[in-house]
Amino acid sequence: MADKRFVTLDGNEATANIAHLCNEVMAIYPITPSSGLGELPDAWAAAGRKNAFGSVPHVVEMQSEAGAAGAVHGALQTGALTSTFTASQGLLLMIPNMFKIAGELTPTVFHVTARTVATHALSIFGDHSDVMACRTTGWAMLASGSVQEAQDMALIAHQATLEARVPFLHFYDGFRISHEVNKIEPLGDEDVRAFLDKELIRQHRQRALSPERPKLRGTAQNPDHFFQGREACNPFYDATPGIVQKTMDKFARMFGRQYHLFDYSGSPDAERVIVAMSSACGVVEETVDKLVAEGQKVGLVKIRLFRPFDGRAFVACLPRTTRIIAALDRTKEPGALGEPVYQDVVTALAEYWATNGDEALPRVIGGRYGLSSKEFTPAMVAGIYAEMAKPQPKRHFTIGIRDDVTHLSLEYDENFSTEAPDVVRGVFYGLGSDGTVSAVRSTVKILGENTPLYAQGYFVYDSRKAGSVTTSHLRVSPRPIKGSYLVHKATFVACHQFHFLERIDMLSVAEPGATFLLNSPYGPDEVWDHLPREVQEQILAKRLKFFVVDAYRVARETGMGVRINTIMQTCFFQLAGMLPADVAIAHIKDSIKATYGKKGGEKVVQQNFAAVDAALAALHEVKVPDRVTSTLCMVPPVPEDAPPFVKNVLGAIIANRGDELPVSAMPVDGTFPTGTTQYEKRSIAQDIPIWDPKICTQCGFCSLVCPHAAIRMKAYPAQQLAGAPEGFKATDWKGKEYPGYKFTVQVYPDDCTGCGLCVDACPAKDKAVPKHKAIDMEPKLKHLHQERKNLAFFMEIPDLDRSQV
């Protein structure tokens, strides 16, 4: 460890670094979750960073992924070393060019963050449906299952394609690997320069279309000879697996990490073997380690090179004791006899098992898992191994969902866990824009690069991005972390937004005895009575250690505005106790300097320093009472009177219980009812506009500019005010059209995002107090209860008859 250098970065940065060093041209078009792959080389090239050959790569953004693939095809024909990056529909747009590039035996690597292809619904999340749609293009397909592998396989792919002349699709799981931050051994510029074979690059250039060596490419061929021409490439595909293995061996000699076309892990005399690809491998391996230690004969085959599929190497990798194989696919091919990995495993066994002895052919079952980034956990893996032990296991199954329609899903014990007690496991709930993700990323970096500990960070984003809940998952371990899955048993839970407590059941993830840190406007002596009953119950039942910090107050007082990230981060380090407080604070300050020193300047750095220094003084342990006292309850995700579909399906999704929905709950063709947004109350604003009727000019600008229609106005007959709750605001209607009418501006406190646009637009200022307008942003918690009552009444007031407007 002492001689090794480590960095912490995500899968996209690890891959982009290799792509930048190996290429002269990169044609890009951004698509989630591959955007970082193109953006980083673009920024590096703009800053003059050179590739491994001493030139600055030419990075060009095209008008679409089809254009990017076309530009790559063109650049390759000039002999330039060229790549692109994409995912999902973007990859589909590249397929026509991919057929051509492979047909012309042109070396290149496309790096793909494997992502769901839109079917009944769009999804930005990860599975293999996009890369599996490319199986017929003639590209080699090399899979990575971790951030370290993403870097290593990227380089192996760039070298192997030059020798094989077969183009390579290097892929890893979108989000799960592309956005996971982990500690890896980096490859430097010199490493890449030394690894790439200059003679192979020269040969690639020699094959370029050039007036100096005229030749014709891209002809049209007739039935008499096209077929033969198509078969002429066979020797190149036959040779590719051997070239990849040779390249992997060279990689091992130079950098010490040995990979094979298929890697086996587990009991040498395993009877039950799972075959998997990409990030699932780490999860299965972690489970195998535990089950083997318990005496079970189980194993795992990791597929590295999926195409060309070397059936002989696959069979050679399996223990001869193998009795049953479960082939796992992260994709769905409706109507097929089985998904791609399953089909290849069956074919490989049929063709090669008998050549290696006379043991009975293993039974093969196939399972779908993890579509659209659905969690895949050790508990599910244990469930698969349990199914494999049955006399009649399901031949085709799903795992991780409840299929009550075609009954393909397997039952499993959700409490099965491989988490070790010495691993710190944190879950941090924040807003998409409050800096929580940055804080956890910085924590991973501090621990990964300054201590012998291994750290893994993963971030669950809502596709609505800013203003949505982000959940950051952190593991810190004395050992390398194999499994890429969410933290389900946390030793530390942090709630960075107080109002989440009434909507998110965040303590269900806490282990007994865990630490709970709450950003609270209420101090240690008063916070208890402001917690919902459900939260109090869990704190007591699990005997949680409970701490509060008023991070927003500290942020305000130190000039940080609403940026609470460094404050919460400082408190985490203090409570988690992995580093002495002074050491942790010194690292946090270094990280602040590195992050804000250039772009924010000294003032921002000093404000952050002040926030860090003030954080610990504001951190207090709460003396937890011995019983539940609260009269508050968590808010139901949607109103009780919502339509059944909204209550039963959307309500579960809003409450973060979408994983519990059975197959039968979902529309068969993705068709949803409309007008359901009204039922989702995200309640994400810190501050909301509060109306002062005395100075309002009734201009309506506030209502007009609100992007969420979260502030509305009504003019109505005075008698409508009968029964108004105390505190409901109204004033006389100023216009001549409706004499005697009343007027109200009402905020929708749980729909408002706190953006402040309405206040900016409001022209009515108080002459005596110029800073006071007819609407001012004020802390939501102070007004929430009243404004909810006001809104309920406001909604009952009939709208004006449109024919009279």
| Choice between 303 and 702, CB closer to ligand SF4 | 702
Give the contacts of 156 (CB within 8 A, at least 6 positions apart): 142, 244, 247, 248, 251, 259
CB of 471 to ligand SF4, least distance (A): 23
| Choice between 88 and 753, CB closer to ligand SF4 | 753
Which helix or strand (DSSP H or E) is residue 593 part of? helix 581-596
Strand-strand pairing, 490-495 and 510-519: parallel
CB of 682 to ligand SF4, least distance (A): 11
CB of 466 to ligand SF4, least distance (A): 13
Distance, CA of 84 to CA of 400 (rounded, Å): 33
Distance, CA of 283 to CA of 481 (rounded, Å): 10
Task: Enumerate the H helices of 60-146 as residue ranges.
Answer: 65-77, 88-103, 129-132
Contact 380, 398 (CB under 8 A): no
| Choice between 6 and 679, CB closer to ligand SF4 | 679
Task: Enumerate the H helices of 661-756 as residue ranges.
Answer: 701-705
CB of 519 to ligand SF4, least distance (A): 21
CB of 765 to ligand SF4, least distance (A): 9
| Choice between 342 and 743, CB closer to ligand SF4 | 743
CB of 538 to ligand SF4, least distance (A): 32
With vertex at residue 528, the alpha carbon angle to CA 526 and CA 530, rounded to the nearest 5 degrees, is 85
| Choice between 476 and 696, CB closer to ligand SF4 | 696
Q: Which two tokens mark 740?
A: 């005697």
Contact 330, 173 (CB under 8 A): yes
Strand, helix or coil for residue 584: helix
Q: Which two tokens mark 559?
A: 């000039």
Contact 166, 240 (CB under 8 A): yes
| Choice between 99 and 679, CB closer to ligand SF4 | 679
Distance, CA of 342 to CA of 329 (rounded, Å): 7
| Choice between 87 and 762, CB closer to ligand SF4 | 762
CB of 728 to ligand SF4, least distance (A): 16
CB of 709 to ligand SF4, least distance (A): 8
Order of strands, edge to edge, in the sheet holding 490-495?
A: 7-10, 181-184, 454-460, 469-477, 424-431, 490-495, 510-519, 545-549, 619-621
Contact 651, 637 (CB under 8 A): yes
Strand, helix or coil for residue 458: strand
Distance, CA of 272 to CA of 18 (rounded, Å): 37
| Choice between 49 and 789, CB closer to ligand SF4 | 789
CB atoms within 10 A of CB 780: 22
Give the contacts of 54 (CB within 8 A, at least 6 positions apart): none
| Choice between 410 and 747, CB closer to ligand SF4 | 747
CB atoms within 10 A of CB 65: 27
| Choice between 566 and 683, CB closer to ligand SF4 | 683
Task: Enumerate the H helices of 655-775 as residue ranges.
Answer: 701-705, 757-761
**Binding interface with ligand SF4 (CB under 6 A):** 689, 691, 696-702, 706, 708, 710-711, 745, 747, 752-758, 761-762, 764, 774-775
With vertex at residue 519, the alpha carbon angle to CA 514 and CA 522, rounded to the nearest 5 degrees, is 110
Read off the DSSP letter of residue 634: P
| Choice between 367 and 689, CB closer to ligand SF4 | 689
Distance, CA of 147 to CA of 305 (rounded, Å): 17
CB of 654 to ligand SF4, least distance (A): 19
Distance, CA of 17 to CA of 189 (rounded, Å): 9
Distance, CA of 392 to CA of 387 (rounded, Å): 8
CB of 77 to ligand SF4, least distance (A): 52
R_g of the chain, CA atoms, integer Å? 30
| Choice between 533 and 772, CB closer to ligand SF4 | 772
| Choice between 383 and 749, CB closer to ligand SF4 | 749
Say which amino acid occupies 718.
A
CB of 589 to ligand SF4, least distance (A): 34
CB of 696 to ligand SF4, least distance (A): 3
CB of 737 to ligand SF4, least distance (A): 16
